[in-house]
Amino acid sequence: MKTLKQLYKCNYEIEVNGIKTNSKKVQHGDLFVCIKGLTNDGHNFIQEAISNGAVAIVSEKDINCSVPVIKVKNTKTELRSLLNRFYGNPNDRFKFIGVTGTSGKTTTSIIIYEILKHIKNSAYIGSAGVLSNKFNLNEVVNTTPDICELYNWLENLSDNEYIAIETSSVGLKQNRMGTIKFDIGIYTNISFNHLNIHGTFEDYKKSKQILFDNIKKTGYAILNIDDHYFNDFLSHCHCHIITYGKSKEANIRIVDINLKLKNTMFTIIYKNQKYKITTNLIGEFNVYNICAALATCFMYWNTN
């Protein structure tokens, strides 16, 4: 908990319990930040936020209301900085693994979480909920949470080291990741989807590429070399590159796939070592998901 004076070096000794951009989710003691979205403008919901308990407003406009107003030039930019001041920079506390793609995000992210949690305290955030050694929340609205919800969850997951996050195209486009820099970013595949939101396939693809623009230079991009759009994502990577797939050019190569009704068997080759895998997950697409997850764990072992 911080005061408004601590957050903005103003004269208001008002305690701030949380930060919200959705007026309906505001609770007593929250600071409400007015964000202009695609369809709604938060400035139009200030009174609702105050009625729900907002103790102050961050706005781009001059507002007359019953609580203090902090005016800023751009509330979207301000929100990222504000969350860092309130919760602390998440990059100082966690190692982030982001997974994006049209399909395979959930399976890949959960496999990563299930493996890493046996090595270090780890957590998962995505369409299956929030999972960790302390939480098993299954009810979520978005694959990638609202930025305020994400930072709040990270505060609750502070005893973990690795956080695997499903990074959806919409979440990336709307900058729900805030100032997070990723240690590992994974690209599974891409096909036509969410065009009702993105308008064009090019915008959909560019939104997913944002993940790879935000990988640390010391980090790893793990890319599906067999996917048709592989090179489009490769061009956005300015870090270590690890490829996976059936191609002979892959750093982590998939061979000898044996698909059965109740299980799947395959082999991966990495640094001239063969690893035979048997899984209850069915289908070749899950072979790729497992390989991407194992590639992540190989990179973990390489750096520890």
Every domain of the chain and the residues it spans: 2-87, 96-302
CATH number of 2-87: 3.40.1390.10
How much is the pTM?
Answer: 0.91
Alpha-carbon distances, residue 84 vs 63, 73, 171, 193, 215 (angstroms): 25, 18, 18, 32, 18
Name the CATH superfamily for 96-302.
Mur-like, catalytic domain (3.40.1190.10)
pLDDT at 304: 56
pLDDT digit string (tens) for the chain, length 304 residues: 899 999 998 899 999 999 999 999 999 999 999 998 778 899 999 999 999 999 999 999 999 999 999 999 999 999 999 999 999 999 999 999 999 999 999 999 999 999 999 989 999 999 888 999 887 776 665 677 889 999 999 999 999 999 999 999 988 988 889 899 999 999 999 987 667 778 899 999 999 999 999 999 999 999 999 999 999 999 999 999 999 999 999 999 999 999 999 999 999 999 999 999 999 999 999 999 999 999 998 887 665 5
> Residue 187 and residue 292: Cα distance in Å, rounded?
8
Alpha-carbon distances, residue 257 vs 157, 222, 288 (angstroms): 38, 21, 11
Torsion of the alpha carbons at 35, 40, 44 and 45, rounded to the nearest 10: -80
Residue showing tokens 């609580």: 67
For 148-153, which contacts have Cβ atoms below 8 Å and span 24 or more sequence positions? 148/18, 148/19, 148/20, 148/21, 148/22, 148/79, 148/83, 150/125, 150/176, 150/177, 150/178, 151/19, 151/83, 151/86, 151/87, 151/90, 151/178, 152/18, 152/87, 153/125
pLDDT at 299: 85
> Residue 153 and residue 248: Cα distance in Å, rounded?
41
Instruction: Determine whether 207 is exposed, middle or buried from the number of CB atoms within 10 Å of its CB (0-12, 13-18, 19+).
Output: buried
